[in-house]
Amino acid sequence: MHTRTTRRRFLKGAGGVLVALPLLDSLRARAQEPAAPFPKRFVTMYNPNGTVHASWFPTGGETDFVLNEIHKPLEHHRDKLLIFQGVNATVTATGPGGPHQRGIGSLFTGHELLEGEFVDGCGSRAGWANGISIDQAIANQIGLDTPLKSLEIGVRAIEADVQARISYAGPGQPLPPMNDPTEVYERLFANFVSAPIDPDDPTDQRASVLDTVETQFDLLNRQLGAHDRQKLEQHLELVRDLERRLGSGTGEAGSCDTPVAPAVLDPNNENDMPAVMKAHLELLAVAFACDLTRVASLQISTGFNRIRFPWLDSLSEGHSLSHTGASDEESLAQLVARAKWHSEQLAYFMDLLAQIPEGDGSVLDNTAILWGNEVSVGNTHSLENIPYLIAGNAGGALATGRFASFEAASANDLLSAVANAYGIETETFGHPDYASAPLTGVLV
């Protein structure tokens, strides 16, 4: 039996940290630790200003549901979806702020807003959210052994305002997203070494790892018999092979070489928005594959949402478009097209993760993406029946392949169920007055 070596663990080993040893017969009594499970990953995803209910919610029953127009791009991932109906932002009944402010502040925190001077469209004022967001709570649980605890990404999420933040390290501690793929790339790979190892280069610290390992092996040899020495030599050759493959990039799919830098794009240019989105998703997939981070937030626009989608021939500003009445069929069609584009991006990201092998499955098998919106319907600013969706089952912890309908459930209870799926032992999440217990039927 051999201890499983993750990509990141080996790369750390190539910097001088101990390389895992095989389980030798002579040392069996000292090394009975089970192999570590594959790491889980988690992403929050946001887009603004509500949705078109008639095109968002599935038809049919809990397990025989039929995806509606907005989610058609996710059809091939249907068994990995958990779509919610009847989940309300109950905590928004308290605290300052207008509906967009309270909705986005509570979306992933389950908390009310603090007092402040940010102004909503209705003239209401508020500050930042008063609690940690679910992504950061999970990052504190699973993200402490990776180079980056979490990664905050934005697509045209520029404003420094409560309506432009979804991730919080704690009360009044918003985490701004990076909107430029070049910035994301530099954050991920500025200190990431993947050039071929040169054993004759004294400045290449990675070249010393085998010397370190061989010294450790020499010390162990004094305790081993001939059979174990042979196993030790075989393991040393495995380490050499891993180092060659990870260093040269000639190994199996998923080995961790620094990717090519993304093209230079203007994160503020509406015409570059699809390319910015694609670059972000590809970089995040590589970050998960190389275990550079296990937690991320993906924010598409803000509560202000003054953006157009020219590649879809949708040339109205998003916020005003969301105030469309039910009789304006042309505007509703634009809203559905935008929402369907968001689903296409999620499907593309899931496709990328599904292509990264991990054990007998893929990285997608150990990931969950929680997608939400700050209001339910744009023209009413309703904070009931928030469109939440989970994609991916977090290593089998979440009961996907379902359309889960509730009667006035609290979003806080949904968040606590997600927290439980990542090993956080809690009965509530967010403001305790608006949470009771993890939402039933979410966990396996």
pLDDT of res. 243: 47
What is the Cα–Cα distance from 367 to 356, expressed in whole angstroms? 12
Interval 265-296: pLDDT, tens? 999 999 999 999 999 999 999 999 999 999 99
- β-bridge partners, 37: none
- β-bridge partners, 118: 126
pLDDT of res. 325: 86
Confidence of residue 227 (pLDDT cuts 50, 70, 90): low
pLDDT of res. 214: 56
What mean pLDDT is reported for the chain? 86
Q: Which of 303, 441, 295, 270 minimizes the C-alpha distance to 366?
A: 295
What is the three-class DSSP state of 88?
strand
Question: Residue 206: is its pLDDT beyond 50?
Answer: no
User: What ranges do the domains of the chain cover?
Assistant: 7-36+195-248, 42-193+263-434
Q: How many residues belong to the chain?
A: 444
- Measured CA angle at 153 (ends 149, 156), to 5 deg: 165
Place of tokens 């009413």: 380
Mean pLDDT of 150-155: 98
Interval 129-144: pLDDT, tens? 999 999 999 999 999 9
Question: Residue 400: is its pLDDT beyond 60?
Answer: yes
Q: Model-level pTM?
A: 0.81
| The two structure tokens encoding residue 432 | 């305790």
What is the Cα–Cα distance from 387 to 132, expressed in whole angstroms? 21
What is the Cα–Cα distance from 67 to 311, expressed in whole angstroms? 24
Interval 60-104: pLDDT, tens? 999 999 999 999 999 999 999 999 999 999 999 999 999 999 999
pLDDT of res. 9: 38
Q: Which of 346, 300, 297, 302 minimizes the C-alpha distance to 151?
A: 297
Provide the angle, in degrees to the nearest 10, between the axes of the packed helices 411-421 and 134-142. Answer: 10
pLDDT of res. 140: 98
Confidence of residue 235 (pLDDT cuts 50, 70, 90): low
Question: Residue 394: is its pLDDT beyond 50?
Answer: yes
Confidence of residue 364 (pLDDT cuts 50, 70, 90): very high
pLDDT of res. 326: 84
pLDDT of res. 346: 98
What is the Cα–Cα distance from 374 to 106, expressed in whole angstroms? 8
Distances (CA, A) of 198 to 208, 243, 257, 402: 10, 11, 16, 52
pLDDT of res. 437: 97
Class of domain 42-193+263-434: alpha beta
